[in-house]
Amino acid sequence: MPSVAPPIVAIATAPGRGGVGVIRISGSRLETIVEGLIGRPLTSRHAHFARFRAADTSAIDEGLAIFFPGPNSFTGEDVLEIQGHGGPVVLGMLLRRCIELGARHAEPGEFSKRAFLNGKLDLAQAEAVADLIDAQSEAAARSALKSLDGAFSLEVRALVDALIHLRMLVEATLDFPEEDIDFLNAADARGQLGDLQGQLARVLATARQGKLLREGMHVVLIGQPNVGKSSLMNALAGEEVAIVTEIAGTTRDTVRELIQLDGVPVHIIDTAGLRATDDVVERIGIERTWGAIAKADLALLLVDSREGVTQHDLDILGRLPRELQVLRVFNKVDLTGDVPGDVARDVVHVSAKTGEGLDALRQRLLHQVGWFGDLDGVFIARERHLDAIRRASAHLDQALTAYEQVELFAEELRLAQNVLSEITGEFTSDDLLGVIFSKFCIGK
Ligand code: GDP
Ligand code: ZN
C-alpha cells in the first residue's frame, strides 16, 4: 500500500434529491478532515451522529459519520463516510468543505481503482462493481454480484494455475535438451494442453452468457405504422418488466425501448422513423438510429399477415448491413388462417394480440444470440475478458504447433498466462487501467 495517499472526495449517491446523501472520502491522514468537519475524533466503525461544520464552525448539515481505518475498508485506505441530507446544494457545500480541508475531487472510478491497487479487489471484481450498478436486468445484477464475489476470478485463477503447472513441466525439460520431447510425451503435455483448451472453451461459453447479460442484445424492428410493433414489444415484455425505459430519439417517435427476455436485456430499436427528411433534429435522430443498427445483433421485420412485406420494408432491408441476420415476423395471425408459432426458416407467425406464437419467437430470439437460458454459475463478463480468453486459446494453439520446438512451446505458454492474467489485472498496463476506470462514474 502506498504510504501516503492524498485524500479524495466525491458524492457517492446519485445526483438529484433523496432522503440521504453520502459523501465518501478516502486517503491517508484523514484526521485533519475529521477534526475540521466534525470537531472531534471518531471511534472506528461506529456510526456517530454529528454536526458537519464550516470553517467558521457554523453548521452546514447534520447526519451520520462513520470512519473505517485502512486497511479494512473498501479502498484499503482510511475511509470517512458522511451521510447528510440528500440535496444537491447541501451535498455540494459538504463536498467543498472537504476540499477546503485538503481533499481533492475524485476522478471517475478512483475509489475502485485504489481498491484494486491496494489489493482489495482484483480487476474483474472492480469491473463487476460498475456492472452491478449499471445492471439492466435482475439476472445481470445477480451475475455481476457473482463476479464481485470472485466467481469469475476463481475460474481464471484455476486456468492460470493449470498453465503454471504445465509451464513448470516444460521449463524443467529445457534443462535437458536431449530428452525433452520424450519427457513431455511421458508427462502427456499434449493431453494437458488439450484439457486446458477444453477449460478455456467452457469459461469462454459462460463468459459469453455473462456478456449478453451485461450488454443485452440489440434488435432492430422494421415495420410500417400499425403492423403491431408497440403491441409486440409489450407482449414480449410480458409480466417481467413492461417497458423499462423509453428514450425519445426523434421529435416524432420513440426510437428505442428496453425489455427483458428470460433476464436478458433486449434493446429494441424502432426504425419506423427512418425516412427522408429535411428536419435537422430528426436527421440527427435518424443518424443515431443507423448507428444503433450497425451494432445490432438481429433485425425483426414485422409485417401485417394480411398485407405481407411492403416496398418500404424492402427499401430499409436493402440498406441494412449485409451480415445482419433478419427474421420475418408475420403478425396478426388471429386475423388470417396462418399457423401461429410456425417457425419456417426465417419466418415466425405470431399474434401480438392473442399471444399465439410468442413463445416460439422468444426462443428463436434468444437462440439466435446464443443464450443457453441457464443462469447457474453465469458471472458477468465484458468483451475485454472474452478477448483475453480467445487470445489465450490462440497461444495454446500456437503452443501445440510448436510442440517439437520446446523453447517456442514454453514461450507460447508464457504468453497465454500473461494474457489470462490481464483479466484479473495481475498482468496489466497503466493504459488499460486508465481505460477501464475512466468509464466508471464519479464516487465509485
Ligand atoms: P405499431 O404502429 O406498429 O406500433 O402498431 P401498434 O402496436 O400500435 O398496433 C396497431 C393496431 O394493430 C392496434 O389497434 C393494435 O391493437 C392492433 N394489433 C396489433 N397486433 C395485433 C394482432 O396480433 N392482432 C390484431 N387483431 N390486432 C393487432
Ligand atoms: Zn408503435
Q: Which CATH architecture has domain 8-116?
A: 2-Layer Sandwich (3.30)
Ligand nearest to the CA of 236: 1
Distance of alpha carbon 98 from alpha carbon 44, whole angstroms: 19
Helix, coil or strand: residue 334? helix
pTM: 0.81
Tell whether ligand 1 has an atom less than 6 A from the beta carbon of residue 352: yes
CATH (residue range 129-212+388-438): 1.20.120.430
Q: What pLDDT, on a 0 to 100 scale, did the predictor assign at position 257?
A: 79
pLDDT tens readout for residues 129-173 = 999 999 988 899 999 999 999 999 999 999 999 999 999 888 888
Distance 326 CA to ligand 1 centre (A): 21
Q: What pLDDT, on a 0 to 100 scale, did the predictor assign at position 342?
A: 55
Q: What pLDDT, on a 0 to 100 scale, did the predictor assign at position 251?
A: 33
Average pLDDT over residues 386-402: 96
Residues in the chain: 444
Most confident residue range from 55-59, 255-259, 267-271, 430-434:
55-59
Q: What pLDDT, on a 0 to 100 scale, did the predictor assign at position 1?
A: 47
Tell whether ligand 1 has an atom less than 6 A from the beta carbon of residue 334: yes
pLDDT band at 255 (very low <50, low <70, confident <90, very high): low
Q: Are 357 and 351 in contact (CB under 8 A)?
A: yes
Distance 315 CA to ligand 2 centre (A): 20
Distance 216 CA to ligand 1 centre (A): 26
The answer on pLDDT for 3 being more than 70 is no
Every domain of the chain and the residues it spans: 8-116, 129-212+388-438, 214-368
Query: Given the CA of residue 227, which atom of ligand 1 is nearest to it?
Result: 3
Cβ neighbours for 57, distance < 8 A, ≥ 6 positions apart? 39
pLDDT band at 333 (very low <50, low <70, confident <90, very high): very high
Q: What pLDDT, on a 0 to 100 scale, did the predictor assign at position 246?
A: 40
- Report the candidate in 171, 210, 110 with the shortest Cα–Cα distance to residue 439: 110
Cβ neighbours for 320, distance < 8 A, ≥ 6 positions apart? 220, 293, 299, 326
Residue type, 24: R
Helix, coil or strand: residue 365? helix
Q: Report which protein residue has its CA nearest ligand 1's atom 26.
A: 332
Q: Is 353 annotated as a binding residue?
A: no
Q: Is 109 annotated as a binding residue?
A: no
Tell whether ligand 1 has an atom less than 6 A from the beta carbon of residue 234: no
Burial of 148 from C-beta contacts in 10 A (0-12 / 13-18 / 19+): buried
The answer on pLDDT for 34 being more than 80 is yes
pLDDT tens readout for residues 357-379 = 999 999 899 988 888 877 778 99
Query: Given the CA of residue 331, which atom of ligand 1 is nearest to it?
Result: 23
Q: Are 424 and 122 in contact (CB under 8 A)?
A: yes
- Report the candidate in 223, 33, 211 with the shortest Cα–Cα distance to residue 127: 211
Distance 246 CA to ligand 2 centre (A): 12
Helix, coil or strand: residue 163? helix
Q: Report which protein residue has its CA nearest ligand 1's atom 20.
A: 228
pLDDT tens readout for residues 222-245 = 888 889 888 888 888 765 443 433
Distance 228 CA to ligand 2 centre (A): 7
Q: What pLDDT, on a 0 to 100 scale, did the predictor assign at position 241?
A: 41
Q: Report which protein residue has its CA nearest ligand 1's atom 6.
A: 228
Q: Is 332 annotated as a binding residue?
A: no
The answer on pLDDT for 381 being more than 80 is yes
Q: What pLDDT, on a 0 to 100 scale, did the predictor assign at position 432?
A: 80
- What mean pLDDT value characterizes the chain? 88
The answer on pLDDT for 52 being more than 90 is yes
At the topology level, CATH places domain 214-368 in Rossmann fold (3.40.50)
Tell whether ligand 1 has an atom less than 6 A from the beta carbon of residue 229: yes
Distance 229 CA to ligand 2 centre (A): 5
Q: What pLDDT, on a 0 to 100 scale, did the predictor assign at position 329?
A: 94
Helix, coil or strand: residue 326? strand
Q: Is 226 annotated as a binding residue?
A: yes
Q: What pLDDT, on a 0 to 100 scale, did the predictor assign at position 91?
A: 97
Q: Is 185 annotated as a binding residue?
A: no
Bridge partners (DSSP) listed for residue 23:
11, 82
